[in-house]
Structure 1
Amino acid sequence: MKSIHTIKTIRRPIRTAFAVLAVAAVPVGAVAVPAVAGANAAASSSTTCPTGWGSLPEANTRVSTATLEAVRTGRHACFDRVVFDIAGKPPGYTARYVSNVFRPGAGHLVPLRGGAKLEIMLGVREFDEAGHWAFQPTHESSVTGYRTFRQVEYAGSTEGAAWIGLGLRARLPFRVFTLAGPGAGSRIVVDVAHRW
Structure 2
Amino acid sequence: MGRLRTGLVAFLLVGAGMTMAVAPGGTAVAAGSGKAATPPAAGCAAVDWGSLPKDSAVAWHKPLRDIRTGGHDCYDRVVFDLLGPGTGRPIGFHVRYVDQFQQDGSGDVIPVRGGAILEVRVAAPSYDPATMQRTYDGKAGQPLPEVDLGGYRTFQDTRFGASFEGDTQIAVGVRERLPFRVFQTGNHLVVDVAHSWRGFR
Do the two structures share a fold, i.e. TM-score over 0.5?
A: yes
Classify the secondary structure of the residue corresponding to 2:171.
Answer: strand
The 5 A counterparts of 1:8-19 are none
Q: Which has the higher helix share?
A: 1
Change (3 A) 1:90 1:170: same
Question: Post-superposition shift, 1:50?
Answer: 2.6
Greater mean alpha carbon deviation, residues 150-159 or residues 131-140: 131-140
Q: How far does the alpha carbon of each residue in 1:104-136 deviate from its partner, in whole angstroms, 9 at most, with x for none? A: 111111111110000001112342132201211
User: RCO (CA 8 Å, sep 6+): is it higher in 1 or 2?
Assistant: 2
Unaligned stretches of 5+ in structure 1?
1-43, 181-185
Moved over 3 A (4+): 44-47
**Number of the residue aligned with 1:154:** 160
Distance 2:53 2:94 in 1: 7
Alpha-carbon contact 2:62-2:124 (below 8 Å) kept = yes
Unaligned stretches of 5+ in structure 2?
1-38
Largest Rg, 1 or 2: 1
**Number of the residue aligned with 1:142:** 148
Alpha-carbon contact 1:90-1:188 (below 8 Å) kept = no
Distance 2:40 2:150 in 1: 22
Q: How many residues align?
A: 148
Change (3 A) 1:46 1:126: closer
- The one-letter amino acid of 1:51's match is A
> Between the two proteins, what is the percent identity of the paired residues?
40
Distance 2:42 2:66 in 1: 30
Question: Post-superposition shift, 1:159?
Answer: 1.7
- The one-letter amino acid of 1:116's match is A
**Number of the residue aligned with 1:132:** 133
| Corresponding position: 1:51 with 2:59 | no
Question: Post-superposition shift, 1:56?
Answer: 0.5
**Alignment TM-score, normalising by the size of structure 2:** 0.69
Distance 2:110 2:78 in 1: 18
Distance 2:41 2:175 in 1: 21
